Amino acid sequence: MSAASSDENLNSFGEKVPAEPAPAAVSSAEARPAGAAHEIEELEPEEIDLEPSAEPPALPEAVAGAAEEDRPTEPHLPPPDAVPQKRLAAAPPPPSSRMPPRSERNFASVARVVLSGSGEVLDSRGAGPDDFAARVAYAARLAELIGRAIRSGAPRALELRGKGTHTSVNWQGDGNVSASLELVQSPKIR
Amino acid sequence: MKALDALGSLRDIEGVYGSFVVDAVGGITLRDLPAVIDNSALREAGPRIARLWGAFPDDDPPEYVLLEFSSHQVFIRKFDAGSLCVFVAPTVNRQALKMAASFVARWLDAELPAISVQIEPSPVSEPAPPGAQPPAAFTSKKTTYLYRGQRYEG
């Protein structure tokens, strides 16, 4: 086997195969096709003009045509882009955008009353205050009796939650009872 | 599930001291409360609890009432045949409590008509002084269970 010439090699089956010529050491530029090397030479950075030119580069014909269409036909009018931006900046936000966040919109107060300890209406606002005051006075009295029965003392607050309303009753330090009726708006799941 | 097991499930919520159930006219039906709360107090409170629902507007079905006292709160959940009343700490997780009470109320709606529970007089039955504060009323671990005429303590 040592008699094999230097330009012949043995493959895995023991057969003689001609030796491939050793690759010559060439530069990367020389290894590329001639056309590719030419393209690289065209994109050499020192040949790109990075200085800002006095005049903008010429636009393609289609783009230039669109810009020409946007240009106002009456020279005394401002360009079309400036008008809507100015209006948007100066106009107040629409009412819907001034709504409070969703979490604060769950309740909408519709009635509010303040009752004295004897049931006299000291202050009332909103719709149907008389009926609401009567219901508050009744619930507050029952709550006081329940607290007394179970030896829990005087109640501090009372909540009555219905499907569509939420009533909050608070006993104040001066003996008065304040209450508010709110409509419950179920949050929508998106 | 037994009735007292249903009420006991409310104690899974941290801050629940105990609960009791009154029927539509305020009669005591079930209780799972510390012995310091005697049945005479519940009998006195029961009819008032049942009448609380009358304070709601006619066109608004009631869901619950929350009574806040200085040391605790009473959460009252309405169901078809009565009211479920839960004594809770002020720091209770109210959302979890509402959900747990909903489950129990649903169970009571389905099962309570078939349950005949006779509440016996509790061992503590002195009359309640008006305006008296409960001294550590709900910190006791001892619970009196009354079910089908039998009283259990634990």
CATH at A145 = 3.30.450.30
Neighbours of A188 (CB within 10 A): 6
Residue A56 has pLDDT above 80, yes or no: no
Residues 6+ apart with CB under 8 A from A68: none
Identify whether the C-beta of residue B123 lies closer than 8 Å to the C-beta of residue B34.
Answer: no
Please tell me the distance from the alpha carbon of residue B43 to that of residue A21, in angstroms, as a whole number.
110
Do the domain assignments include residue A142?
Answer: yes
Residue A27 has pLDDT above 60, yes or no: no
Q: What is the pLDDT of residues A128-152, one digit of tens each?
A: 888 999 999 999 999 999 999 999 9
Chain B residues in contact with A113 by the CB 8 A cut-off are: none
- Residue B126: φ, ψ to 5°: -70, 150
Please tell me the distance from the alpha carbon of residue A1 to that of residue A3, in angstroms, as a whole number.
5
- The tokens for B134 are 């409960």
Chain B residue with minimal CA distance to A153? B131
Residue A113 has pLDDT above 70, yes or no: yes
- What is the pLDDT, as a whole number, of residue A36? 46
Least trusted range by pLDDT, from B8-17, B42-51, B111-120 = B111-120
Do the domain assignments include residue A141?
Answer: yes
Residue-averaged pLDDT of chain A: 69
Identify whether the C-beta of residue B60 lies closer than 8 Å to the C-beta of residue A163.
Answer: yes
- What is the pLDDT, as a whole number, of residue B59? 87
* More confident call, B20 vs B125: B20
- What is the pLDDT, as a whole number, of residue A81? 55
Do the domain assignments include residue A71?
Answer: no
Indicate the residue of A138, A158, A164 with minimum beta-carbon distance to B60: A164
Chain A residues in contact with B49 by the CB 8 A cut-off are: 142, 146
Residue A62 has pLDDT above 80, yes or no: no
Do the domain assignments include residue A39?
Answer: no
Chain A residues in contact with B37 by the CB 8 A cut-off are: 150
Cβ-based contacts under 8 A for chains A and B:
106
Confidence band, pLDDT 50/70/90 cuts, at residue B122: low
Q: What is the number of structural domains in chain A?
A: 1
- Residue A141's domain comprises 104-184
Least trusted range by pLDDT, from A62-66, A116-120, B91-95 = A62-66
Helix count (H) and strand count (E) of chain B?
3, 7
Least trusted range by pLDDT, from A39-43, A139-143, B92-96 = A39-43
Chain A residues in contact with B58 by the CB 8 A cut-off are: none
Residue-averaged pLDDT of chain B: 82
> Cβ A159–B66 below 8 Å, yes or no?
yes
Indicate the residue of B49, B68, B132 with minimum beta-carbon distance to A155: B68
Does pTM top 0.90 for this prediction?
Answer: no
Please tell me the distance from the alpha carbon of residue A6 to that of residue A57, in angstroms, as a whole number.
64
The ipTM, to two decimals, is 0.77
Chain A residue with minimal CA distance to B65? A160
Distance in angstroms between the alpha carbons of the first and the last residue of chain A: 83
Distance in angstroms between the alpha carbons of the first and the last residue of chain B: 19
Chain A residue with minimal CA distance to B58? A162
Chain A residue with minimal CA distance to B62? A162
- What is the pLDDT, as a whole number, of residue A155? 96
Probe site for chain B from A150, A168, A171 (most B CB atoms < 10 A): A150
In Å, how far are A31, A189, B18, B49, B76 from B105, measured between CA atoms? 85, 25, 15, 16, 10
Tell me the one-letter amino acid at A36. A
Confidence band, pLDDT 50/70/90 cuts, at residue B36: confident
Please tell me the distance from the alpha carbon of residue A167 to that of residue B53, in angstroms, as a whole number.
12
Please tell me the distance from the alpha carbon of residue A124 to that of residue A134, in angstroms, as a whole number.
12
Residues 6+ apart with CB under 8 A from A137: A115, A119, A177
Q: Which CATH number fits domain B3-124+141-153: 3.40.30.10, 3.20.20.70, 3.40.50.620, 3.30.450.30?
A: 3.30.450.30
Indicate the residue of A150, A161, A167 with minimum beta-carbon distance to B37: A150
